[in-house]
Amino acid sequence: MRIEDGDRVSASRQHLIFAYYVTGHGFGHATRVVEVVRHLILAGHDVHVVSAAPDFVFTSEIQSPRLFIRKVLLDCGAVQADALTVDRLASLEKYSETAVAPRASILATEIEWLNSIKADLVASRVSDVVPVACRAAADAGIRSVCVTNFSWDFIYAEYVMAAGNHHRSIVWQIAEDYSHCEFLIRLPGYCPMPAFRDVIDVALVVRRLHRSRKEVRKELGIGEDVKLVIFNFGGQPAGWKLKEDYLPAGWLCLVCGASDKDELPPNFLRLAKDVYTPDLIAASDCMLGKIGYGTVSEALAYKLPFVFVRRDYFNEEPFLRNMLEYYQGGVEMIRRDLLTGHWLPYLERAISLKPCYEGGINGGEVAARILQDTAIGKNYASDKFSGARRLRDAIVLGYQLQRAPGRDVCIPDWYANAENELGLRPGLPTIEMNDDSSLMSSCTEDFEILHGNLQGLSDTMNFLKSLAKLDSAYDSGKNTEKHKMRERVAAASLFHWEEEIFVARAPGRLDVMGGIADYSGSLVLQMPIREACHVAVQRNHPSKQRLWKHAVARQHAKGQGPTPVLQIVSYGSELSNRGPTFDMDLSDFMDGDQPMSYEKAKKYFAQDPSQKWAAYVAGSILVLMTELGVRFEDSISMLVSSAVPEGKGVSSSASVEVASMSAIAAAHGLNISPRDLALLCQKVENHIVGAPCGVMDQMTSACGETNKLLAMICQPAEIVGHVEIPGHIRFWGIDSGIRHSVGGADYGSVRIGTFMGLKMIKSIAAAVLSRSFPCSNGINHDELEEEGGELLEAEASLDYLCNLSPHRYEALYGKMLPESMLGETFLERYADHNDSVTVIDQKRSYGVRANARHPIYENFRVKAFKALLTSAASEEQLTALGELLYQCHYSYSDCGLGSDGTDRLVQLVQQMQHNKLPKSEGTLYGAKITGGGSGGTVCVIGRNCLRSSQQILEIQQKYKGATGYLPLVIEGSSPGAGKFGFLRIRRRFPPNQSVASLQSN
């Protein structure tokens, strides 16, 4: 429902009392509440505001005896280390401390207080996303409404992924609290909020202006000839020192929230802490700050260009940012340019914008009228959603949430469009490998192929077509999908079309068997999938490279002439909330006359999480410098376009690494074997990205073959062959919709526990061998035979857990391993776990027995699976193969790497398998979670027939019915990067020459 009527809130014949709870996160919520509260008071009502925000936030706009302020903190929002950085684990811990531990006393106190102020006329209670307030109102028998653009269950769902699933109960409780709210008044730029029963959309809530632009400038003594930027980060963080040369000549900066102790340059003006910022925003030429509802809404309302710097780990931001950019009001500044003062190109770009928001700005007035009407008895909620109802599971943009029954999960158009552009939405026509003559002809008309072969791959042909169309990205007047413009325009300025471009392709992979046992030395079986990453690379002399304006400004600031620069554009950036571009001087990779260490590189890329993705791409350059001694004298321009879905456990990162390194190597004449290239790419991920993965992902992406399973023993990377997939067997991947990350807490902790187990087994073997192990543990030293001693010697020096057989594990070690062990205890006893890519947290407890057992048995299962694949086709063969998948799946769960979504998919496969008609042959036979677990994709094995495909589609629809998410189905195979080789191309017809004069971010 959307309400747009702008009439004033008419005075009610009833005198109403409202309790308005405001979240403790930042001032933005409090400032938007002011506008709603002001209209309620104008209509003759009393409003009790419950907030930890300073009084002046409310009293500077509202001076009325009907306003009551109660200082209470009922939630903590997001804990910020500074204005741009959220501490995810600290946020969850603080919320537990603030709202979870004292929950019973909070509810009792709030119920008592609500009853104490209501008298006979209390009819409504409002919350600006404070979850517990909704439950308190319900328990007090008072109707409640929320007014917001985001909810904390969606925000915290991301933090849970980083901190571990043991925090998930926080998200569940918040959703349950919200479900007691009668309806949601939803503001523009909203996030998905599925827990609310009903929704009413209103216009922007914006504080009114008190003075005109001319009046404000006159009071400040600033003429119209002076350019004015307002610096608005919610308080100047410690360590940010502003300098005079950050501003161009003729500019002044108004600084909000600066400490009285901070010295400001003469062209920076300190504003009072209680200053009324809307007037100053309207008097400025642009704003520089972080994105929040208050800043974005007021920038749009008063048509002020907004130069923004991304905040880390705050899920509200991409929705507001896309709204800002859609109305052509935003310019993104790279964080390092903010901190080093390279502001000029961004400010110049900002004042050239013409923001075009023409929507309503009376959301506060409309919201107040809805609240008044609700208080006097009007029912805005739909009947079908009325009353308390049990929440259902919801998977939204990769996060596990809860949803009200009957509610569709609202995904914004820009997100769906970005997925469609990359071909990731389920139900789209599949990309078949065939010789499409018309598409092939079109490609050869656009480009001269100087080396390589398209191999009939239509995704590669489509990539070349997208390259040929890049010049049209500048025709913004014809581009209605504004969210695409930034990455397309940036990409269009990358290449000199008369010069050669090198293109590489690397697929993702479906983990059929092996998974997390790779780092324990297991045999693995991996299938290269149809979806792939393409990377285009061009070398240019530094004097010829087309640099983005901020890169030019950076070189000028260093007093340098042209120097080699790396510029990267990554398509699909909105799907994972990352910056679409990255650039750096290649000299930054040098530490004196040697390449910088991997540890320094890891810190370099981690400085700005929105650009950390560049480590997967640019890290290839440093690894080539360090491992092969390559030096890069030319500038490098790269375009990355991946159709391998991110966060779904199908090796999107490995495909980017392999395609990037392959393209860079081709452009520089480096001949690297696919196996060696995969090992180099693993160094990128382990040491520069900092993700503790094994090598099977990179090996499959580099060395895989179409319609074959790559068989590899990960000790460290011995390819033992390619196993042909029998014609009667087919594999599918079904995405659970739950984001997976090998850098997440659960994957890393399982890996640490596994290496702890290895160290303990070696220690036990050494102790038994030396007869120092007590006989009470069931070991009879006198019965040790000579061959037993040899086995113990081998086990005491075990390199990989998978070299221990299951029967030896059960006979000697299984019962001796502890279920878990505290990190501190392990280090005291064993000193180190001997894994170079993980670090033990002394205060954390790690699972040991299940984590050590898994790779030992998984290696056996993979060997059996490989042997069965080559056996005679039969029902028994398929049943046995499926059973091995099921066993693997439940072993993952024992390690703590399962998830609700993947478990649900495996159960649906089992239902299909066991519900077959009597005497009929089955079609689906087994399924398992894949890769690093904790979400991601399930691998399904079945008979290669039409009925199997129909059953996969049935599972897809049943899963959507249960979770609201229609899963992506992955099927088909394609060649690895080694089989594809590379393309060397040159444009046949030069694009629109006008693009050369347009250098833009």
On whether the CB atoms of residues 360 and 6 are closer than 8 A, the answer is yes
Among 158, 192, 157, which Cα is nearest to 319's? 192
Residue with the larger pLDDT of the pair 227 and 785: 227
pLDDT score of 977 more than 50: yes
Among 1-15, 231-245, 659-673, which is the least confidently predicted range? 1-15
Among 78-87, 303-312, 940-949, 991-1000, which is the least confidently predicted range? 991-1000
Q: Which band of pLDDT confidence, cut at 50, 70 and 90, is reported for residue 661?
A: very high
Q: What is the pLDDT of residues 583-625, one digit of tens each?
A: 999 999 999 999 999 999 999 999 888 889 999 999 999 999 9
pLDDT score of 634 more than 80: yes
Instruction: Report the C-alpha gap between 117 and 977 in whole angstroms.
Output: 70
On whether the CB atoms of residues 754 and 894 are closer than 8 A, the answer is no
- The pLDDT score that the predictor gives to residue 160 is 84
Q: Which two tokens stand for residue 744?
A: 């997440």
Query: What DSSP line would sit under 551-601, residue for residue?
Result: HHHHHHHTT--S--EEEEEETTGGGGT--SEEEEEGGGGEETTEEPPHHHH
On whether the CB atoms of residues 699 and 678 are closer than 8 A, the answer is yes
Among 712, 707, 703, 709, which Cα is nearest to 722's? 709
- The pLDDT score that the predictor gives to residue 79 is 82
Q: Which band of pLDDT confidence, cut at 50, 70 and 90, is reported for residue 481?
A: very low
Q: Which two tokens stand for residue 694?
A: 């094994």
Q: Which band of pLDDT confidence, cut at 50, 70 and 90, is reported for residue 777?
A: low
pLDDT score of 3 more than 80: no
Q: What is the pLDDT of residues 332-391, one digit of tens each?
A: 999 989 998 999 999 999 999 999 999 999 999 999 999 999 888 888 776 544 455 578
In which element (H, E) is residue 627 found? helix 614-628
Q: Which band of pLDDT confidence, cut at 50, 70 and 90, is reported for residue 725?
A: very high
Residue 948's contacts (CB-CB under 8 Å, 6 or more residues apart) are 730, 923, 924, 942
Section 964-975 average pLDDT: 94
Q: What is the pLDDT of residues 183-192, one digit of tens each?
A: 999 999 999 9
pLDDT score of 951 more than 70: yes
Residue with the larger pLDDT of the pair 364 and 479: 364
In which element (H, E) is residue 125 found? strand 122-128
Q: What's the whole-number average pLDDT of the chain?
A: 87
Section 149-157 average pLDDT: 90
Section 649-667 average pLDDT: 96
Catalytic site residue 697? yes
- The pLDDT score that the predictor gives to residue 26 is 63
Residue with the larger pLDDT of the pair 479 and 977: 977
Among 144-158, 374-388, 731-745, 879-893, which is the least confidently predicted range? 374-388
pLDDT score of 431 more than 70: no
Judged by DSSP in three states, 433 sits in strand
On whether the CB atoms of residues 363 and 9 are closer than 8 A, the answer is no
pLDDT > 90: percent of the chain: 59
State residue 564 phi and psi, 5-degree precision.
-60, 130
pLDDT score of 995 more than 70: no
- The pLDDT score that the predictor gives to residue 485 is 61
Q: Which band of pLDDT confidence, cut at 50, 70 and 90, is reported for residue 396?
A: confident
Helix axes 696-703, 674-683, angle to 10 degrees: 150
Among 82-86, 284-288, 419-423, 429-433, which is the least confidently predicted range? 429-433
Q: What is the pLDDT of residues 285-334, one digit of tens each?
A: 999 999 988 899 999 999 999 999 998 888 888 899 989 988 999 999 99
Q: What is the pLDDT of residues 515-535, one digit of tens each?
A: 999 999 999 999 999 999 999
Instruction: Report the C-alpha gap between 958 and 907 in whole angstroms.
Output: 11
Question: Per DSSP, what are the bridge partners of residue 569?
Answer: 581, 639
pTM: 0.88
The alpha-helical segments, DSSP class H, found in 119-150 are 131-139
Residue with the larger pLDDT of the pair 230 and 691: 230
Among 134-143, 423-432, 573-582, which is the least confidently predicted range? 423-432
- The pLDDT score that the predictor gives to residue 506 is 98
pLDDT > 70: percent of the chain: 87
Instruction: Report the C-alpha gap between 412 and 513 in whole angstroms.
Output: 36
Active-site pick, 279, 337, 697, 746 = 697
CA atoms within 13 A on the CB side of 146: 30
In which element (H, E) is residue 50 found? strand 46-51
pLDDT score of 783 more than 60: no
pLDDT score of 424 more than 50: yes
On whether the CB atoms of residues 738 and 936 are closer than 8 A, the answer is yes
- The pLDDT score that the predictor gives to residue 823 is 96
Residue with the larger pLDDT of the pair 506 and 3: 506
Section 82-102 average pLDDT: 87
pLDDT score of 760 more than 90: yes
pLDDT score of 252 more than 50: yes
pLDDT score of 118 more than 80: no
pLDDT score of 259 more than 60: yes
On whether the CB atoms of residues 232 and 253 are closer than 8 A, the answer is no
Place of tokens 């060997």: 863
Instruction: Report the C-alpha gap between 318 and 785 in whole angstroms.
Output: 66
On whether the CB atoms of residues 257 and 290 are closer than 8 A, the answer is no
pLDDT score of 647 more than 70: yes
